[in-house]
Amino acid sequence: MNKHHSLFALVAFLILSGCETEEQPIPQNTINDSATPLTKVSLQLNWFPEAEHGGYYAALIHGAYKEEGLDVEIIGGGPNSPVIQKLVAGQADFIVGNADQVLTSRAKDSNAVALFAPLQTSPRCIMVHESSGVDSLAKLNDMTLGISAGRAFALYMQKHLPLKNVKFVGYPGSPAVFLSNENYGQQAYVFSEPFVARRSGSNPKVLMVSDLGYNPYTSLLITTQETVDSNKDLIDRMIRASKKGWIKYLEDSTTTDQHIHALNEEMDLEILAFGAKTLKELCLPDGMSSDTLGNMTSARWEQLRDQLIELELIDQSVDANAAFLK
């Protein structure tokens, strides 16, 4: 074959090859490749890293955020962490907080909007000594109670419980005082302080505040109405990735717990494993499917609104249905 015939054959082969090659459709929600820059966003936590943030960290370290094209910086919080203020001031794109915070802040024109509610049941509890004989919130009498005065749940307890001869003192931030005083109770999260107290040799009794009827969604993913209106695609991606992270964390928290422990050494792996196990019932109560994880209802938000109005923390002008993404 002469070189002219060879050239003709090569051109024909290339043309036929191009014709036979079908253009492949681009799959939706694929893993972001290196050619596409990630969208940088910040997520401000309401406390030091712990189990209640597990799903968000799982979304980070297992790649769910990156799959949605997001470069998420998770920022640890601390005592009285001003998450709403940081959100309003534009110092954080997203925050973690509770539903009562959303409504009380909206009463002050914050425009905070809840996007996703991993904890359907509030982990808020009161921890007392088993030896006290107190087996219900209604029997909280004749003791000292370490509690964050002025917080909505504390005000609700004061309004709906007898609390005879109960002395309120500030929340100490740890079970140290509890361990040394049999006549002392304190606020806690059911997946944390009770475990620490029990491991330290105490025998705590846990009284869930939700049993009193005060049960705001907890560990919410929150942003502003302005962000919802201006970047719905970002909101959808953040919700999808966060949900994947929470499902992963509830299935197997091991790797994520190691990451959280590295960030917060006070949360050792044993505490975190207990926390993840306890969270399953809080996130998916009554056999709730993981498909509906994070969903919210108008009825729950309206009930909370009425409770906060009763406590005079907000007024009738606050629209409960505008406080969350439907």
Summarize pLDDT for 267-304 with one digit per residue, the tens. Answer: 999 999 999 999 999 999 998 999 999 999 999 999 99
What is the structure's pLDDT at 79? 82
What architecture does CATH give domain 124-212?
3-Layer(aba) Sandwich (3.40)
**Helix (H) or strand (E) segment spanning residue 101:** helix 99-106
The two domains 39-121+216-322 and 124-212 share their CATH topology (first three levels equal): yes
What is the structure's pLDDT at 36? 84
Would the pLDDT of 84 be above 80? yes
What is the structure's pLDDT at 9? 39
Mean pLDDT of the region 1-30? 37
Would the pLDDT of 144 be above 70? yes
Would the pLDDT of 35 be above 80? no
What is the structure's pLDDT at 81? 85
Cα gap 193→124, rounded to integer Å: 11
**Type of residue numbered 15:** I
Band (168; pLDDT cuts 50, 70, 90): very high
Band (127; pLDDT cuts 50, 70, 90): very high
Structural domain boundaries in the chain: 39-121+216-322, 124-212
What is the structure's pLDDT at 173? 84
What is the structure's pLDDT at 24? 34
Would the pLDDT of 56 be above 90? yes
What is the structure's pLDDT at 33? 54
Residue pair 117/222 in contact (Cβ under 8 Å)? The answer is: no
What is the structure's pLDDT at 8? 36
- Which CATH code fits 39-121+216-322? 3.40.190.10
Side-chain half-sphere of 213: how many Cα atoms within 13 Å? Answer: 12
Cα gap 12→9, rounded to integer Å: 5
Would the pLDDT of 34 be above 60? no
Q: Cβ atoms within 10 A of the Cβ of 189, count?
A: 23
Band (325; pLDDT cuts 50, 70, 90): very high
**For the chain, what percent of residues have pLDDT higher than 90?**
86
Query: If DSSP codes are grouped into helix, strand and coil, which group holds residue 25?
Result: coil
Would the pLDDT of 180 be above 60? yes
Cα gap 208→190, rounded to integer Å: 8
Task: Determine phi and psi for 316, rounding to 5 degrees.
Answer: -65, -15
**Helix (H) or strand (E) segment spanning residue 178:** helix 176-180
Would the pLDDT of 216 be above 50? yes
Judging by DSSP bridges, how do beta strands 166-169 and 143-146 pair with one another? parallel
How high is the mean pLDDT of the chain? 90
